[in-house]
Amino acid sequence: MSMLTPPGMGGKYRVTGAAYPRMSRKRSRPRIVLAILGSVLALALVGYGALQLIDVFRGDSPKRNTAAGAKDCPTTPPKGAAKGGPAAASTASAAAKPAVVLPPPGEITVNVYNATPRAGLAKAVGDELAKRGFVIGNVGNAPADFDKKVPGTGILLGSPTTDKAAFSVLGTQLAGTTQQTDTREGADIDLILGDAFKELSTKEDADKALAVLANPVPAPATC
């Protein structure tokens, strides 16, 4: 027996000068399974990424399809909204109600002041506003803080607590006015006529503007 032969190993495992035993390591089955699963997962990810790139270049993304579908709004009424049905009646009732409650001119007290060099302007405007239903308070020349210092059409001056709708109603009678507030406590509004003022809006135009305020155009419906 050769000195290189391990004890107890003889016969074909005898080590000679030109041969030695080969000890092969057993392959681990779990490692092979994990390797196969990893390869499959990698291939799946590559395929999914390729499909996403194709969709991007073709423009077939879900957001685009959704946006395109949103444009095609149905034009036919739903079954429950048949002519004369409850849905139609409720829609007509909602459309008939004014969206904004406006104070009538008879509840708005207006003080008319003239900040221009034109004599008698405040009285003429006050008389016309009275014909249109407004309550006229003081009439005369503008206070020193505003006299000859209003380059625009006019200023609507009132209390911070004055109903904003009252400003809007008075504003329909002449275009281009601005709104300001002072320290007064009453609900009256000053109309200070400026250098750019020529005349009040016609009664017809003022009534149309009031109608728009009371019944604003609804926004287009979205699907």
Q: Is the pLDDT of residue 136 over 60?
A: yes
Residues in the chain: 223
Span 73-97, average pLDDT: 54
CA-CA distance, 205 to 211, in Å (whole number)? 10
Q: Is the pLDDT of residue 53 over 80?
A: no
CA-CA distance, 167 to 172, in Å (whole number)? 9
8 A C-beta contact, residue 77 and residue 104: no
CA-CA distance, 204 to 221, in Å (whole number)? 31
8 A C-beta contact, residue 169 and residue 103: yes
User: Per-residue DSSP letters for the chain?
Assistant: --TTSPTT--GGG---SS-----PPPPPHHHHHHHHHHHHHHHHHHHHHHHHHHHHHHT--HHHHHHHHHHS---SPPGGG-TTSHHHHHHHHHHHS-SS----GGG-EEEEEE-SS-TTHHHHHHHHHHHTTPEEEEEEEPPTTTTT---SSEEEEE-TTS-HHHHHHHHTTSTT-EEEE-S--SS-EEEEE-TT---PPPHHHHHHHHHHHHSPPPPPP--
Structure tokens at 46: 């590559």
8 A C-beta contact, residue 183 and residue 206: no
State the pLDDT at residue 100: 77
The DSSP bridge pattern shows strands 189-193 and 178-181 to be unpaired
Phi (first) and psi of residue 190, to 5 degrees? -90, 130
142 pLDDT band, cuts 50/70/90, is very high
pTM of the predicted protein model = 0.57
CA-CA distance, 141 to 120, in Å (whole number)? 9
Note the pLDDT tens digit of each residue in 165-183: 999 999 999 999 999 999 9
At 38, the amino acid letter reads: G
Span 153-172, average pLDDT: 96
